Amino acid sequence: MTVNSILIAGTWRGSAGGQSLPVVDPSTGDPFGHIARGTAADVHAAVAAARRALSADWGRLSAMERGRVLTRLGTRILEEADRLAELEARDVGKPLRQARADVVACARYCEYYGGAADKVHGETIPYQDGYTVLTWREPHGVSGHIIPWNYPLQIIGRSVVAALAMGNACVLKPGEDASMTALAIARLAQEAGLPEGALNLVTGLGEEAGAALAAHPDIDHLSFTGSRDVGTMVQAAAAASIVPVTLELGGKSPQIVFADADIEAALPFLVNAAVQNAGQTCSAGSRLLVEETLHEALVDRVAERFNALVVGPAERDLDVGPLIHAGQKARVERFLARAEADRLPIRAQGTLAPDLPPGGHYVVPTLIDCVPPDHPLAQEEVFGPVLAVIPFRDEAEAVALANATAYGLVSAVWTRDGGRALRLARALNSGQIFINTYGAGGGVELPFGGMKRSGHGREKGFEALYGFSQLKTVAIRH
């Protein structure tokens, strides 16, 4: 079946191989459309179109004009907010209000980077007598973007939109399990006046279209958001052509609660950061580290909230939606079975809404107490609505436990002691630290990215514009 979900040089077309993939609603398990199964030949054509765009209309736009196009895109996204939110909710399985928040965030990225496009300045550098030395930033050129299924709208905003703001021409490979809003955004970008070839899009499988993009010898930069295993392969593939890679990978992010914390303020964040998007969030706060003296009291309060969580289809807009597919559900259930086999205390579980569609991939949110620090539940990314509680004795142990995983994406500290908050902010190995709040990735304006195996490079905020450009130094002797 020919499905025209591949955008190359401004034209929508089917895959060179003529094959397609079903689009499945995680809330029901039912297919509701198809996408093209892009091949290496499609990726090659997309990269070539992006290369041409750099010396055509797109490459000739001034920074101010690029910014205007992106700002118009943000306006169009907000005008279409309801439709986009329904599509994202259906495709990813996230409750409608979360999908709406993602639409607004995507528009905000367009506003932010639209406004920032003409504000990236160079420097003049004091050098030897008789010289003037200056620097400026240039786009990498052709920028590849491989993104996952869990937050398509938000990740397009922070990676593709920032790369376009700097004048790169992009090739986007969305996640095969949730590509629909990527297609919608690309169409809106065309309406907003984005010149042809500035954004090319190839739907398809990771091991086919994704692998072809990562290994393509004519890309200049690659932004990968996804799992650690695939990120490792992608970086190795890009290394063959010395292509710089931004890696936004997984996490096992701790929320550290001291006995002096404002518990009422913390509670909603402790729960939401663990179950938002059914826990399928790179920056999910999936470990709750709690000071021993507060342990019982805090876990009781968190348990009340977990017990009250209701799981159901995205369109019913309950607390938690389904997982993305059967494989993800099986993965989460394996972790829960392991917890049971190891007799870890299950302190609370949410409930399934009545009359669930039988084909949906539902798992109840689960709060597990006293998880040993070396247990898989304390070390590995579950990517489901599961919160592991780990008690600690004192500040030193809290830091040691927080840092004792391979990951380093986000951490939170809850305390009324300002000195302690700052000491921990220094001591914790993660790219973002929240004090008395939790951002689950934070706002559009806040640089975001990992330490250790959570990846390298920063997206979001102004910092992303440096990552999506390269510095040139010009030394003038006079």
Report how far residue 390's alpha carbon sits from residue 398's, in angstroms, rounded to the nearest whole number.
9
Query: Whole-number minimum distance, CB 201 to ligand NAD, in Å?
Result: 12
Report the distance separating Cα 456 and Cα 467, nearest Å.
Answer: 10
User: CA–CA separation, 345 vs 351, rounded Å?
Assistant: 18
> Residue number with the shortest CB distance to ligand NAD?
206
User: Is 282 among the residues known to form the active site?
Assistant: yes
Instruction: For residues 216 and 41, give the distance between their C-alpha atoms in angstroms, rounded to a whole number.
Output: 11
Q: How far is the CB of 474 from ligand NAD (least distance, A)?
A: 34
**Which of 88, 176, 196, 248 is flagged as catalytic?**
248
Please state, as a whole number, how many other Cβ atoms lie within 10 Å of the Cβ of residue 130: 8
Query: Quick check: helix, strand or coil at residue 201?
Result: strand
Nearer to ligand NAD, 155 or 303 (CB): 155
Identify the sign of the CA torsion 372, 374, 378, 383: negative
**Strand intervals (E) in 346-464:** 346-349, 351-352, 366-368, 386-392, 410-414, 432-435, 455-456
Say whether 272 sits in a helix, a strand or coil.
helix
**What beta strand segments (E) does 254-408 contain?**
254-257, 287-291, 310-311, 346-349, 351-352, 366-368, 386-392
Judged by beta carbon, residue 69 or residue 247, the one nearer ligand NAD is: 247
Query: Considering 80, 196, 282, 291, which one is annotated as catalytic?
Result: 282
Q: Which is nearer to ligand NAD, 146 or 309 (CB)?
A: 146
Least distance from ligand NAD to the Cβ atom of residue 49, Å: 20
Least Å distance between CB 335 and ligand NAD?
14
CA distance 441 to 437: 12
The smaller minimum CB distance to ligand NAD, of residues 40 and 465, is found at 40
Kindly give the pairing relationship between strand 124-125 and strand 31-36: unpaired
Distance of closest approach, residue 59 Cβ to ligand NAD, in angstroms: 27
CB distance 276 to 266 below 8 Å: no
Contact positions vs ligand NAD (CB under 6 A) = 146-151, 173, 175-176, 206-207, 210-211, 214, 225-227, 230, 233-234, 248-250, 282, 381, 383, 409, 450, 455
The reply to whether 296 belongs to the active site is no
For ligand NAD, give the closer residue by CB, 59 or 447. 447
Are 160 and 194 contacting, i.e. CB atoms less than 8 angstroms apart?
no
Nearer to ligand NAD, 156 or 189 (CB): 156
Minimum CB distance to ligand NAD, residue 460 (Å): 9
CA-CA distance, 368 to 76, in Å (whole number)?
44
The set of catalytic residues is 248, 282
